[in-house]
A and B are shown apart, each in its own frame.
Chain A
Amino acid sequence: MERDFTARGNHDMGGLTAGEINKNEHDYALWEKRVDAIMMLLTNDLKIMTVDQLRKGIEALPPDAYDKMTYYERWISSITNGLVEAGVISTEELRSRMAKVSSEPLREKES
């Protein structure tokens, strides 16, 4: 059956043409596991966010960004948007804290 494939979200890729599967794997980095842990705490423990909110935020990324960002980059981007949307953190707090973190030596960020 012929169907129109023009109105789908970028994340909704089932059935599209794509290349060979790259089977290389990377060990998850600590920061990636921390993103995952933050999400688990926000959903399961604190009930501040839902998994579907996380997905919605990821799906709302511009297609170009979705394709170029790594998996946990998409997650932290969506988590951050969700927290701002929920009023848990403000954009000003985020901006100043990111500036502060950027100016610190890396090992402090890794602690």
Chain B
Amino acid sequence: MLKEIQKSLFKKKATVLYPFKERERVHIPEGFRGKIVFDRDKCTGCLLCARFCPSGACEIVTDEKGKRPIFHLELCLFCSQCQEVCPKGAINLTKEFELAAFDRKAFTIR
């Protein structure tokens, strides 16, 4: 019993004080599926991303370049299926995970 107490007293705490302290200690591994980054120049408008998106987060709009997707992060499941099917590598999921915002426009990726 005493041995356990001694061990626990001088051990590092298991809880990370995430938003307040040691922010950098929140370890995000490579290949984490976070916020979408879309490269509009690489896109050819094949619309595969919208065809395979399971949650309807990928909306198709028509602009001067033709049909292009816009991504609604509030609907996104972060499954990275769009990244997988994109033949040009225009869609990438980054390590960014802090996505809360007051403005809804912040959730739309163009």
Chains A and B belong together in one complex: no
Residues of A within 8 A of B (CB): none
Residues of B within 8 A of A (CB): none
